[in-house]
A and B are shown apart, each in its own frame.
Chain A
Amino acid sequence: MTEISMVVNGKSVKADVADNTLLVDYIRESLRLTGTHVGCDTSQCGACVVHVDGKAVKSCTMLAASAQGSDVTTIEGLANGDLHPMQAAFKENHGLQCGFCTPGMIMSATDMVARYNASGKELTEEAIRDELEGNICRCTGYHNIVKAIADGASKMTNA
Chain B
Amino acid sequence: MSEGIGASVRRKEDKRFITGKGKYTDDIRQENQAYAAFVRSPHAHAVVKSIDASEAEAMEGVVAVLNGHQLTEDGIGNIIAGWAITSKDGSGMNMGAWSALCTEKVRYVGDTIAIVIADTQEIARNAADAVMVDFDILPAEVNPEATLADGAPQIHDNAPNNQIYDWELGDEAATDAGLASAAHVTEMEIINNRLSPNPMEPRAAIAIFDEAEDHYTLYTTSQNPHVARLLLSAFYQVAPEHKLRVVAPDVGGGFGSKIYVYPEEIACLWASMKTNRSVKWTSTRSEAFLTDAHGRDHVTRAKMGFDANGKIVGFKVDTIANIGAYMSLFSSVTPTYLYATLLSGQYDMPAIHGNVRAVYTNTAPVDAYRGAGRPEATYLVERMMDTAALEMGVDPAELRRKNFIQSFPYQTQVIMNYDSGDFPGCMDKAQAAADVAGFAARKAESASRGKLRGIGYSSFIEACGIAPSAAVGSLGCGVGLWESAEVRVNPVGTIEILTGSHSHGQSHETTFAQLVNDRFGIPIDNVQIVHGDTDKVQFGMGTYGSRSGPVGMNAIVKALDKVEAKVKKIAAHVLEASEDDIVIEAGEVKIAGTDKKMAWHEVGLAAYTAHNLPEGMEPGLKEGAFFDPINFSFPSATLICEVEVDPDTGVTDILQFTTADDFGVIINPMVVEGQVHGGIAQGIGQAMLENVVYDDSGQLLTGSYMDYAMPRADDLPSFTIEHNNVPSPSNPLGLKGCGEAGAIGAPPAVINAICNAIGNNNLSMPATPSKVWAALQEVSTQQAAE
Contact = CB atoms under 8 A, between A and B. Distances in A.
A72 interface: no
B695 to A, nearest CB: 20
B450 to A, nearest CB: 21
Given A94-B11, A98-B251, A136 B18 contact: no
B677 A96 contact: no
Given A96-B14, A97-B506, A133 B678 contact: no
Contacts, number: 177
B128 to A, nearest CB: 15
9 contacts: A34-B24, A39-B285, A41-B286, A76-B19, A99-B16, A132-B714, A141-B742, A144-B677, A146-B718
Interface of B: 10-11, 13-24, 26-27, 29, 198-202, 250-253, 255, 282, 284-286, 504-507, 670-671, 673-675, 677-682, 704-706, 710-714, 716, 718-719, 742
A87 B18 contact: yes
Interface string A121-144: 000010011101101111111111
A102 B202 CA distance: 15
B193 to A, nearest CB: 17
Interface in A105-159: 106, 125, 128-130, 132-133, 135-146
A36 interface: yes
B718 A41 contact: no
Instruction: Determine the interface band of chain A, counting residues with CB < 8 A from chain B.
Output: 35 or more
A13 interface: no
Given A102-B18, A135-B713, A142-B677, 15 more contacts: A32-B29, A37-B200, A39-B202, A74-B20, A83-B15, A97-B253, A97-B674, A98-B251, A99-B252, A99-B505, A100-B22, A138-B199, A141-B681, A142-B711, A143-B719
A136 B710 contact: yes
Contact of A96 (B17, B23, B255): B17
B18 A101 contact: no
Contacts of A92: 10
Given A40-B705, A94-B10, A141-B678, A132 B713 contact: yes
Contacts of B17: 96, 99, 102-103
A100 B505 CA distance: 9
A70 interface: no
Query: What 3 A-B pairs are tightest by C-beta distance, nearest first?
Result: A35-B20, A99-B17, A100-B252
Contact of B250 (A36, A99, A128, A138): A99
Interface string A33-52: 11111111110110100000
A87 B15 CA distance: 8
Interface of A: 28, 32-42, 44-45, 47, 74-76, 79, 83, 87, 90-92, 94, 96-103, 106, 125, 128-130, 132-133, 135-146
A109 B199 CA distance: 21
A140 B255 CA distance: 12
B672 to A, nearest CB: 10
A99 B714 contact: no
Contacts of B504: 98
B10 to A, nearest CB: 6
Contacts of B505: 97-99, 139
Given A35-B22, A138-B198, A97 B678 contact: yes
B25 to A, nearest CB: 11
B200 A130 contact: no
A138 B24 contact: no
Given A44-B705, A91-B15, A96-B14, A142 B716 contact: yes
A145 B713 contact: yes
A138 B678 contact: yes
A89 B17 CA distance: 13
Contact of A40 (B26, B704, B719): B704
A63 to B, nearest CB: 14
Contacts of B252: 37, 98-101
Contact of A99 (B22, B198, B677, B705): B22
Contacts of B710: 136, 138
Contacts of B742: 141
Contacts of A38: 26, 202, 282
A34 B671 CA distance: 26
B677 A141 contact: yes
Contact of A44 (B507, B670, B704, B718): B704
Contact of A94 (B253, B674, B711): B674
A137 B715 CA distance: 12
Contacts of B714: 129-130, 132-133
Given A90-B14, A141-B716, A98 B27 contact: no
Contacts of A34: 20, 23-24, 26-27
Contacts of A39: 200-202, 285
A101 B713 CA distance: 13
A140 B201 contact: no
A154 B198 CA distance: 32
Tell me which of A34, A38, A135, A143 has the highest count of chain B C-beta atoms within 10 A of its own C-beta. A143
Contacts of A76: 19-21
Contact of B670 (A94, A102, A125, A129): A94
A98 B200 contact: yes
Contact of A100 (B19, B200, B673): B200
B701 to A, nearest CB: 15
A42 B14 contact: no
A61 to B, nearest CB: 13
Given A92-B10, A132-B713, A47 B200 contact: yes
A87 B622 CA distance: 37
A98 B18 contact: no
Tell me which of B18, B282, B678, B714 has the highest count of chain A C-beta atoms within 10 A of its own C-beta. B18
Contacts of B506: 97
Given A101-B200, A132-B713, A138-B199, A33 B20 contact: yes
Contact of B674 (A41, A91, A106, A144): A144
B705 A45 contact: yes
Given A40-B705, A92-B10, A98 B201 contact: yes
A98 B199 contact: yes
A139 B678 contact: yes
Contacts of B507: 97
A140 B673 CA distance: 9
A146 B677 CA distance: 12
B14 A137 contact: no
B655 to A, nearest CB: 13
B295 to A, nearest CB: 13
A91 B27 contact: no
B11 A91 contact: yes
Given A138-B198, A142-B716, A35 B284 contact: no
Tell me which of A40, A74, A99, A128 has the highest count of chain B C-beta atoms within 10 A of its own C-beta. A99
B670 A136 contact: no
Nearest to B719: A143
Nearest to B504: A98
Contacts of A106: 18
Contacts of B11: 91, 94
A41 B284 contact: yes
A87 B198 contact: no
A147 B256 CA distance: 28
